[in-house]
């Protein structure tokens, strides 16, 4: 299990919004997915919104990938982070 300490330095950012609403504590849990677009569409069709996303590394290279945050307020309040990695050759 990995832990990330997310400290908002610049605003606006989802971490600062979360602290303002809920105080300090768990912001998100991360899960790896095989098909990011399908999973995003599935959650959006259930009424959940994507609050933030981006990429890391060099596009198409192993070790690089994409992340998206899904807001689960109506299902308990913890944000879900989806992680997708470019496949190894």
pLDDT tens for residues 43-62? Answer: 999 999 998 899 999 988 88
Distance CA 11, CA 57 (A): 24
In the chain, where the domains are located: 27-85
- Supply the DSSP symbol for 73: G
- 80 neighbors 69 (Cβ within 8 angstroms): yes
Predicted model pTM: 0.77
CATH of domain 27-85: 3.10.180.10
Characterize the bridge pairing of strands 28-32 and 49-56: unpaired
pLDDT one-digit tens code per residue, 58-88: 988 888 999 999 988 778 778 899 999 988 7
């Amino acid at each position: 299990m990995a832990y990330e300490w997310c400290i908002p330095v610049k605003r606006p950012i989802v971490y600062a919004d979360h602290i303002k609403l809920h105080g300090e504590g768990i912001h998100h849990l991360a899960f790896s997915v095989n098909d990011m677009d399908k999973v995003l569409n599935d959650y959006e069709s259930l009424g959940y919104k994507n609050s933030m996303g981006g990429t890391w590394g060099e596009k198409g290279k192993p070790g690089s990938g994409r992340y998206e945050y899904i807001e689960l307020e109506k299902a308990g309040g913890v944000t879900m982070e989806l992680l997708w990695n470019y496949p190894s050759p």
